[in-house]
Amino acid sequence: TEIEKGTYPHFMLKEIDEQPLVMRKIIQAYQDGNGNLKIEDEITKAMLDADRLYIVACGTSYHAGLVGKQLIEKMAGIPVEVHLASEFGYNMPLLSAKPLFIFISQSGETADSRAVLIKVKEMGYKALTITNVPGSTLSREADFTLLLHAGPEIAVASTKAYTAQIAVLAILAFVTGTSKGASVNINLVKELGIIANAMETLCDAKEEFEQIAAEYLPAAINCFFIGRSIDHSVGLEGALKLKEISYIQAEGFAGGELKHGTIALIEKQTPVIALATQAGVNGSIRANVKEVATRGASTCIISMKGLETEGDRFVLPAVHELLTPLISVIPLQLIAYYAALHRGCDVDKPRNLAKSVTVE
Protein backbone atom coordinates (compact mmCIF):
# COMPACT_ATOMS: atom_id res chain seq x y z
CA THR A 1 0.00 0.00 0.00
CA GLU A 2 1.18 3.47 -0.79
CA ILE A 3 2.13 5.67 2.14
CA GLU A 4 0.20 8.92 2.15
CA LYS A 5 1.09 12.29 3.58
CA GLY A 6 -2.47 12.82 4.77
CA THR A 7 -2.90 16.37 5.94
CA TYR A 8 0.85 16.96 6.14
CA PRO A 9 2.64 19.16 3.58
CA HIS A 10 5.73 16.95 3.74
CA PHE A 11 6.67 13.42 4.75
CA MET A 12 9.45 14.82 6.91
CA LEU A 13 7.01 16.72 9.12
CA LYS A 14 4.71 13.70 9.33
CA GLU A 15 7.62 11.47 10.31
CA ILE A 16 8.84 13.93 12.96
CA ASP A 17 5.34 13.88 14.44
CA GLU A 18 5.24 10.07 14.42
CA GLN A 19 8.13 9.83 16.89
CA PRO A 20 6.05 9.60 20.10
CA LEU A 21 3.98 6.81 18.55
CA VAL A 22 7.10 4.97 17.40
CA MET A 23 8.53 5.16 20.93
CA ARG A 24 5.39 3.53 22.30
CA LYS A 25 5.47 0.86 19.58
CA ILE A 26 9.07 0.04 20.43
CA ILE A 27 8.33 -0.23 24.16
CA GLN A 28 5.50 -2.61 23.33
CA ALA A 29 7.42 -4.68 20.80
CA TYR A 30 10.33 -5.25 23.18
CA GLN A 31 8.25 -6.15 26.26
CA ASP A 32 7.46 -9.64 27.53
CA GLY A 33 4.17 -10.68 29.15
CA ASN A 34 5.30 -9.30 32.50
CA GLY A 35 6.16 -5.86 31.18
CA ASN A 36 9.92 -6.50 31.27
CA LEU A 37 12.12 -5.54 28.35
CA LYS A 38 13.38 -8.50 26.33
CA ILE A 39 15.41 -9.36 23.27
CA GLU A 40 16.14 -12.81 21.83
CA ASP A 41 18.41 -14.87 24.12
CA GLU A 42 20.83 -15.60 21.29
CA ILE A 43 21.43 -11.86 20.84
CA THR A 44 22.05 -11.32 24.56
CA LYS A 45 24.42 -14.29 24.50
CA ALA A 46 26.36 -12.86 21.54
CA MET A 47 26.62 -9.52 23.37
CA LEU A 48 27.87 -11.20 26.55
CA ASP A 49 30.37 -13.32 24.61
CA ALA A 50 31.94 -10.25 23.00
CA ASP A 51 34.89 -8.40 24.52
CA ARG A 52 34.28 -5.39 22.24
CA LEU A 53 31.50 -4.19 19.98
CA TYR A 54 32.07 -2.58 16.59
CA ILE A 55 29.19 -0.41 15.42
CA VAL A 56 29.34 0.20 11.66
CA ALA A 57 27.00 2.60 9.85
CA CYS A 58 26.62 5.63 7.54
CA GLY A 59 25.00 9.07 7.81
CA THR A 60 22.30 9.47 10.41
CA SER A 61 22.61 5.83 11.45
CA TYR A 62 26.27 6.50 12.28
CA HIS A 63 25.17 9.38 14.50
CA ALA A 64 22.73 7.07 16.29
CA GLY A 65 25.68 4.71 16.77
CA LEU A 66 27.67 7.44 18.53
CA VAL A 67 24.85 7.74 21.06
CA GLY A 68 24.53 3.95 21.23
CA LYS A 69 28.18 3.64 22.24
CA GLN A 70 27.54 5.73 25.34
CA LEU A 71 24.38 3.81 26.21
CA ILE A 72 26.05 0.40 25.84
CA GLU A 73 29.23 1.35 27.67
CA LYS A 74 27.28 2.89 30.56
CA MET A 75 24.51 0.30 30.90
CA ALA A 76 26.23 -2.90 29.77
CA GLY A 77 29.90 -2.18 30.49
CA ILE A 78 31.17 -3.45 27.14
CA PRO A 79 33.67 -1.28 25.19
CA VAL A 80 32.28 -0.01 21.89
CA GLU A 81 33.90 1.49 18.79
CA VAL A 82 31.81 3.33 16.21
CA HIS A 83 32.98 3.37 12.61
CA LEU A 84 31.88 4.83 9.30
CA ALA A 85 31.28 1.91 6.97
CA SER A 86 32.98 3.62 4.03
CA GLU A 87 36.19 3.99 6.07
CA PHE A 88 36.13 0.68 7.89
CA GLY A 89 36.13 -1.32 4.67
CA TYR A 90 39.64 -0.40 3.56
CA ASN A 91 41.13 0.81 6.83
CA MET A 92 40.13 -1.88 9.29
CA PRO A 93 41.19 -1.19 12.88
CA LEU A 94 42.97 -3.84 14.89
CA LEU A 95 40.17 -6.05 16.15
CA SER A 96 39.82 -7.39 19.66
CA ALA A 97 39.93 -11.15 20.38
CA LYS A 98 36.15 -11.57 20.45
CA PRO A 99 34.45 -8.83 18.46
CA LEU A 100 30.73 -8.58 17.71
CA PHE A 101 29.64 -6.34 14.84
CA ILE A 102 26.52 -4.20 14.99
CA PHE A 103 25.27 -2.74 11.72
CA ILE A 104 22.80 0.13 12.02
CA SER A 105 20.86 0.86 8.85
CA GLN A 106 17.38 2.30 8.40
CA SER A 107 16.99 0.76 4.94
CA GLY A 108 19.11 -2.33 5.47
CA GLU A 109 20.39 -1.83 1.92
CA THR A 110 23.33 0.58 2.21
CA ALA A 111 26.18 -0.73 0.06
CA ASP A 112 29.01 0.68 2.17
CA SER A 113 27.67 -1.11 5.25
CA ARG A 114 26.99 -4.30 3.33
CA ALA A 115 30.57 -4.42 2.05
CA VAL A 116 31.81 -4.46 5.65
CA LEU A 117 29.24 -7.07 6.66
CA ILE A 118 30.41 -9.39 3.88
CA LYS A 119 34.03 -8.89 4.92
CA VAL A 120 33.53 -9.60 8.62
CA LYS A 121 31.33 -12.62 7.91
CA GLU A 122 34.13 -14.00 5.72
CA MET A 123 36.47 -13.49 8.66
CA GLY A 124 34.15 -15.70 10.71
CA TYR A 125 32.65 -13.07 13.01
CA LYS A 126 29.05 -12.67 14.13
CA ALA A 127 26.93 -9.68 13.17
CA LEU A 128 23.74 -8.07 14.41
CA THR A 129 21.76 -5.72 12.16
CA ILE A 130 19.50 -3.02 13.59
CA THR A 131 17.16 -2.01 10.78
CA ASN A 132 13.73 -0.67 9.96
CA VAL A 133 13.14 -3.10 7.12
CA PRO A 134 12.43 -6.77 7.87
CA GLY A 135 13.96 -9.04 5.23
CA SER A 136 16.34 -6.33 3.98
CA THR A 137 19.76 -7.39 2.70
CA LEU A 138 21.67 -6.43 5.85
CA SER A 139 19.09 -8.24 7.96
CA ARG A 140 19.24 -11.42 5.88
CA GLU A 141 23.02 -11.53 5.71
CA ALA A 142 23.64 -10.91 9.43
CA ASP A 143 23.26 -13.53 12.16
CA PHE A 144 20.73 -11.53 14.15
CA THR A 145 18.29 -8.66 13.59
CA LEU A 146 16.61 -6.12 15.84
CA LEU A 147 13.79 -4.18 14.18
CA LEU A 148 13.07 -0.48 14.63
CA HIS A 149 9.27 -0.65 14.25
CA ALA A 150 9.31 2.93 12.94
CA GLY A 151 7.11 2.27 9.91
CA PRO A 152 8.22 3.29 6.40
CA GLU A 153 10.40 6.41 6.32
CA ILE A 154 9.89 8.28 3.05
CA ALA A 155 11.62 11.66 3.51
CA VAL A 156 15.28 11.47 2.50
CA ALA A 157 16.32 13.20 5.73
CA SER A 158 16.01 10.56 8.43
CA THR A 159 14.14 11.55 11.60
CA LYS A 160 12.02 8.87 13.25
CA ALA A 161 14.53 6.16 12.31
CA TYR A 162 17.25 8.00 14.26
CA THR A 163 15.22 8.13 17.48
CA ALA A 164 14.03 4.55 16.94
CA GLN A 165 17.65 3.41 16.53
CA ILE A 166 18.63 5.09 19.79
CA ALA A 167 15.67 3.58 21.64
CA VAL A 168 16.47 0.07 20.37
CA LEU A 169 20.14 0.54 21.26
CA ALA A 170 19.06 1.62 24.75
CA ILE A 171 16.98 -1.54 25.11
CA LEU A 172 19.86 -3.68 23.83
CA ALA A 173 22.21 -2.00 26.32
CA PHE A 174 19.73 -2.36 29.18
CA VAL A 175 18.86 -6.02 28.58
CA THR A 176 22.55 -6.92 28.14
CA GLY A 177 23.53 -5.04 31.29
CA THR A 178 20.75 -6.63 33.29
CA SER A 179 21.56 -10.18 32.19
CA LYS A 180 25.20 -9.52 32.98
CA GLY A 181 24.15 -8.64 36.52
CA ALA A 182 25.47 -5.11 36.15
CA SER A 183 23.63 -2.63 38.34
CA VAL A 184 21.66 -0.83 35.67
CA ASN A 185 20.22 2.07 37.58
CA ILE A 186 17.35 2.96 35.30
CA ASN A 187 13.74 1.84 34.88
CA LEU A 188 13.93 1.95 31.11
CA VAL A 189 10.28 1.18 30.36
CA LYS A 190 9.21 4.04 32.57
CA GLU A 191 11.87 6.41 31.22
CA LEU A 192 10.98 5.66 27.58
CA GLY A 193 7.35 6.38 28.45
CA ILE A 194 8.43 9.77 29.79
CA ILE A 195 10.37 10.28 26.56
CA ALA A 196 7.27 9.59 24.44
CA ASN A 197 5.33 12.20 26.37
CA ALA A 198 8.16 14.72 26.13
CA MET A 199 8.34 14.11 22.37
CA GLU A 200 4.66 14.95 22.14
CA THR A 201 5.22 18.21 24.01
CA LEU A 202 7.96 19.14 21.53
CA CYS A 203 5.88 18.23 18.48
CA ASP A 204 3.17 20.50 19.88
CA ALA A 205 5.67 23.35 20.16
CA LYS A 206 6.45 23.58 16.42
CA GLU A 207 5.88 27.34 16.24
CA GLU A 208 8.73 27.87 18.68
CA PHE A 209 11.16 26.11 16.39
CA GLU A 210 9.73 27.76 13.29
CA GLN A 211 10.41 31.04 15.06
CA ILE A 212 14.01 30.07 15.87
CA ALA A 213 14.57 29.12 12.22
CA ALA A 214 13.06 32.43 11.10
CA GLU A 215 15.17 34.39 13.54
CA TYR A 216 18.56 32.76 13.07
CA LEU A 217 18.72 31.20 9.65
CA PRO A 218 17.12 33.16 6.77
CA ALA A 219 20.31 34.99 5.84
CA ALA A 220 22.77 32.50 7.31
CA ILE A 221 25.61 31.19 5.19
CA ASN A 222 26.65 28.81 7.92
CA CYS A 223 25.54 27.53 11.31
CA PHE A 224 27.30 25.76 14.15
CA PHE A 225 25.97 23.26 16.65
CA ILE A 226 27.92 22.94 19.86
CA GLY A 227 27.57 20.55 22.75
CA ARG A 228 29.61 18.45 25.11
CA SER A 229 29.44 14.73 25.76
CA ILE A 230 26.20 13.20 24.46
CA ASP A 231 25.02 16.66 23.30
CA HIS A 232 27.98 16.77 20.93
CA SER A 233 26.74 13.61 19.17
CA VAL A 234 23.28 15.14 18.79
CA GLY A 235 24.82 18.35 17.46
CA LEU A 236 26.44 16.36 14.66
CA GLU A 237 23.01 15.05 13.68
CA GLY A 238 21.46 18.53 13.93
CA ALA A 239 24.13 19.86 11.58
CA LEU A 240 23.57 17.00 9.14
CA LYS A 241 19.81 17.65 9.07
CA LEU A 242 20.36 21.34 8.32
CA LYS A 243 22.95 20.64 5.58
CA GLU A 244 20.87 17.96 3.90
CA ILE A 245 17.69 19.90 3.42
CA SER A 246 18.47 23.65 3.67
CA TYR A 247 21.94 23.55 2.04
CA ILE A 248 23.27 25.85 4.75
CA GLN A 249 26.82 24.87 5.57
CA ALA A 250 26.58 23.48 9.08
CA GLU A 251 28.96 21.74 11.47
CA GLY A 252 28.72 20.16 14.87
CA PHE A 253 31.57 20.80 17.27
CA ALA A 254 32.55 19.68 20.75
CA GLY A 255 32.33 22.71 23.02
CA GLY A 256 35.86 22.28 24.29
CA GLU A 257 37.33 22.16 20.77
CA LEU A 258 36.09 25.63 19.80
CA LYS A 259 39.21 27.30 21.11
CA HIS A 260 41.41 24.90 19.16
CA GLY A 261 40.33 26.23 15.79
CA THR A 262 36.65 26.59 15.12
CA ILE A 263 36.22 29.82 17.00
CA ALA A 264 38.14 31.51 14.18
CA LEU A 265 35.02 31.06 12.05
CA ILE A 266 32.79 33.08 14.36
CA GLU A 267 31.78 36.44 12.95
CA LYS A 268 29.07 38.95 13.73
CA GLN A 269 25.69 37.15 13.53
CA THR A 270 27.09 33.65 12.97
CA PRO A 271 24.33 31.37 14.28
CA VAL A 272 25.49 29.03 17.05
CA ILE A 273 22.98 26.57 18.45
CA ALA A 274 24.07 25.02 21.75
CA LEU A 275 22.60 22.01 23.55
CA ALA A 276 22.77 22.00 27.35
CA THR A 277 21.12 18.82 28.66
CA GLN A 278 23.96 17.36 30.72
CA ALA A 279 24.42 18.43 34.33
CA GLY A 280 28.12 17.51 34.40
CA VAL A 281 29.04 19.92 31.60
CA ASN A 282 26.35 22.57 32.03
CA GLY A 283 28.78 25.19 33.27
CA SER A 284 31.40 24.52 30.64
CA ILE A 285 29.05 24.54 27.63
CA ARG A 286 27.60 27.82 28.85
CA ALA A 287 31.12 29.23 29.09
CA ASN A 288 31.60 28.22 25.43
CA VAL A 289 28.41 30.03 24.48
CA LYS A 290 29.72 33.17 26.18
CA GLU A 291 33.01 32.88 24.27
CA VAL A 292 31.24 32.86 20.90
CA ALA A 293 28.69 35.48 21.94
CA THR A 294 31.55 37.82 22.88
CA ARG A 295 32.81 37.44 19.32
CA GLY A 296 29.47 38.43 17.85
CA ALA A 297 27.72 35.10 17.34
CA SER A 298 23.92 34.89 17.51
CA THR A 299 23.55 32.22 20.15
CA CYS A 300 20.58 29.97 20.80
CA ILE A 301 20.68 27.73 23.87
CA ILE A 302 18.41 24.72 24.06
CA SER A 303 18.60 23.42 27.62
CA MET A 304 16.67 21.03 29.81
CA LYS A 305 14.36 21.62 32.77
CA GLY A 306 16.44 21.75 35.93
CA LEU A 307 19.53 23.01 34.06
CA GLU A 308 18.03 26.13 32.52
CA THR A 309 19.26 29.69 32.91
CA GLU A 310 17.55 32.93 32.07
CA GLY A 311 17.89 33.70 28.41
CA ASP A 312 17.78 30.10 27.19
CA ARG A 313 15.85 30.02 23.94
CA PHE A 314 14.03 26.79 24.70
CA VAL A 315 13.83 24.51 27.73
CA LEU A 316 13.23 20.81 27.04
CA PRO A 317 11.13 18.74 29.45
CA ALA A 318 13.26 16.84 31.97
CA VAL A 319 14.14 13.26 30.94
CA HIS A 320 16.77 10.72 32.07
CA GLU A 321 20.21 12.13 31.31
CA LEU A 322 21.27 9.13 29.19
CA LEU A 323 18.19 9.45 26.99
CA THR A 324 18.27 13.18 26.20
CA PRO A 325 19.23 12.64 22.51
CA LEU A 326 15.77 11.16 21.96
CA ILE A 327 14.21 14.53 22.64
CA SER A 328 16.96 17.11 22.06
CA VAL A 329 17.14 16.11 18.40
CA ILE A 330 13.51 17.08 17.76
CA PRO A 331 14.04 20.86 17.94
CA LEU A 332 17.00 20.42 15.59
CA GLN A 333 14.92 18.39 13.13
CA LEU A 334 12.20 21.04 13.20
CA ILE A 335 14.63 23.96 12.92
CA ALA A 336 16.14 22.29 9.83
CA TYR A 337 12.68 21.64 8.42
CA TYR A 338 11.52 25.24 8.75
CA ALA A 339 14.84 26.68 7.57
CA ALA A 340 14.56 24.56 4.40
CA LEU A 341 10.91 25.45 3.96
CA HIS A 342 11.57 29.19 4.23
CA ARG A 343 14.36 28.92 1.71
CA GLY A 344 12.05 27.22 -0.74
CA CYS A 345 14.00 23.95 -0.74
CA ASP A 346 12.53 20.59 -1.66
CA VAL A 347 12.29 19.28 1.90
CA ASP A 348 11.47 15.65 1.15
CA LYS A 349 13.76 15.23 -1.84
CA PRO A 350 16.87 17.34 -1.39
CA ARG A 351 19.19 17.77 -4.36
CA ASN A 352 21.95 15.20 -4.92
CA LEU A 353 20.75 12.85 -2.19
CA ALA A 354 19.10 9.44 -2.23
CA LYS A 355 17.13 7.76 0.53
CA SER A 356 19.08 4.57 0.20
CA VAL A 357 22.53 4.45 -1.36
CA THR A 358 23.09 1.03 -2.90
CA VAL A 359 26.43 1.78 -4.57
CA GLU A 360 29.78 1.98 -2.77
| Range in contact with ligand G6P (rule: CB under 6 A) among 13-21, 53-61, 272-280, 340-348 | 53-61
Q: Is 48 in the site for ligand G6P (CB under 6 A)?
A: no
Q: Where do the H-state alpha helices sit in the chain?
A: 11-17, 19-29, 41-49, 59-76, 85-88, 111-122, 137-141, 160-180, 188-203, 206-216, 230-246, 282-294, 325-342
The CB-of-252 to ligand G6P minimum distance in angstroms stands at: 15
Pick from 317, 337, 338, 336: nearest CA to 328: 317
44, 70, 86, 110: which one binds ligand G6P (CB under 6 A): 110
Region 122-161 residues binding ligand G6P, contact defined as CB under 6 A: 156, 158
Shorter beta-carbon distance to ligand G6P: residue 263 or 357: 357
Shorter beta-carbon distance to ligand G6P: residue 211 or 356: 356
17, 27, 55, 59: which one binds ligand G6P (CB under 6 A): 59
Q: Is 61 in the site for ligand G6P (CB under 6 A)?
A: yes
The CB-of-75 to ligand G6P minimum distance in angstroms stands at: 23
Region 299-358 residues binding ligand G6P, contact defined as CB under 6 A: 353, 355-357
AA letter at 205: A
* SS3 readout for 76-128: HCCCEEEEEHHHHCCCCCCCCCCEEEEEEECCCCCHHHHHHHHHHHHCCCEEE
Q: Is 194 in the site for ligand G6P (CB under 6 A)?
A: no
Q: Is 105 in the site for ligand G6P (CB under 6 A)?
A: yes
CA 109, 115, 119, 125 dihedral sign is negative
Q: Which residues bind ligand G6P (CB under 6 A)?
A: 58-61, 105-107, 110, 113, 156, 158, 353, 355-357
